[in-house]
Amino acid sequence: MKTFFKLLLALGLVMVLTSVALGVVAFGVLNDADGVHLVINGHEWTGEALDMADGFTVFLSLILCGLVLCVTIPLVLLLGLGLPLLLLGGLALLAVAAVLGAGALLGSPLLLVVLVVWLLMRDRSPKAGRRARRGDTAAVQEPTLPA
């Protein structure tokens, strides 16, 4: 099972790194294409006015997006889904333990009677136990009390 989770983690990391690389490639293609412009909230951006500072800003923003994908989203899923499920499982386990404890407490007089009957009825001779393990039932003798 540990190998499955390692493989799943490696595939997720490869997918995140591939998406970051594809974002960088897409940005480079948009930067080199003529006549391509983006309009975001009324501000028009063309790829012709990109200098070194803008490229560095884009690189840092892609790194930040990668960190969000690798750290923030798994933490949100873990704390948003995993923790409530863990709490529900713990409460269910506590309820089962309470029911079993109450059953043991209420059934203890009956269990005590069954234990006493079993102790009185069992055969305590060591030879009988060895013969029963071997399957030799013809040679079993009734235990006698010493006179």
Going from the first residue of the chain to its last (147 residues), give the mean pLDDT of each consecutive group of 10, the final group possibly shorter: 87 89 79 72 71 80 86 87 92 96 90 90 72 60 65
The Cα 24–Cα 45 span in angstroms is 17
Q: Residue type for 45, please?
A: W
Judge if pTM exceeds 0.85: no
The Cα 96–Cα 137 span in angstroms is 44
Beta bridge partners of residue 46, listed in sequence order: 37
- Residue 97's pLDDT is 96
The Cα 128–Cα 135 span in angstroms is 10
- Tokens representing 90 are 């713990």
- Phi, psi torsion values for 44, nearest 5 degrees: -90, 135
Alpha helices in 33-82 (DSSP H): 52-67, 73-77
- Residue 142's pLDDT is 63
